[in-house]
Amino acid sequence: MQRSVIFPILSLLLVVSGVVNADSDSKKFSVADVEGKYSFSFDGQIVGVTAVAAIGAMHADGKGNVTEAVRTISVGGMAITQRFTCTLKVHPNGTGSATCPLANPAHGFPPVETFDFVIEDHGNAFRLVGTTTGIVVVGSGRKQ
């Protein structure tokens, strides 16, 4: 009877220790994981105004900066090409945020846009959501 009680306890301890070991071996992310050229797209809406969609390309330097970034954004059916840069923050769990001033913001639109993102596929891809007040967008990007 003791054997039937000990076996489940040992099994539970092995499972828990495996989970602890797997967690302690898990990847810790940093801005270095976002490096290289990426293409991206997003779509959504300017709340209560019109639809918005964009495609673009950017270069991340692996030090928390996005440079050489350009997008074509369609706002209510009018296409605008915009250049921008971003400053990135990356948390150890692979989530992060981007603050992106636009070089040529459209009249009446914010000069700085913000996004939250999650790194996927070992830094080869990401998903994003816009966090700029009044603009709701979701999208993704992939290393070129």
pLDDT, tens digit (0-9, with 9 covering 90-100), for 13-60 = 344 444 444 444 588 999 999 999 999 999 999 999 999 999 999 999
Backbone angles phi, psi at 91, to 5 degrees: -90, 155
Q: Is 15 among the domain residues?
A: no
In a domain, 122, yes or no: yes
Task: Flag whether pLDDT at 77 surpasses 70.
Answer: yes
**Tokens matching residue 37:** 């050229």
Q: For residue range 98-114, list pLDDT tens digits in order.
A: 999 999 998 888 999 99
Please name the helix (run of DSSP H) or strand (run of DSSP E) that holds residue 47, with its range, or none.
none
pTM of the model: 0.80
Residue 25 lies in a domain: no
- Amino acid 43: pLDDT: 97
Give residue 45's domain range: 31-143
Number of domains into which the chain is organized: 1
Decide if 116 is inside a domain: yes
Q: For 116-126, what is each residue's pLDDT tens digit?
A: 999 999 999 99
CB 89 within 8 A of CB 68: no
| CATH number of domain containing 109 | 2.40.128.120
In a domain, 52, yes or no: yes
Confirm whether 7 is domain-assigned: no
**Which tokens go with 135?**
């603009």
In three-state secondary structure terms, 46 is strand
Query: Does residue 41 fall inside a structural domain?
Result: yes
The sign of the CA dihedral 8, 11, 12, 13 is positive
User: Does the pLDDT of residue 11 top 60, yes or no?
Assistant: no
Evaluate whether residue 91 is within a structural domain: yes
Helix (H) or strand (E) holding 58: strand 50-61
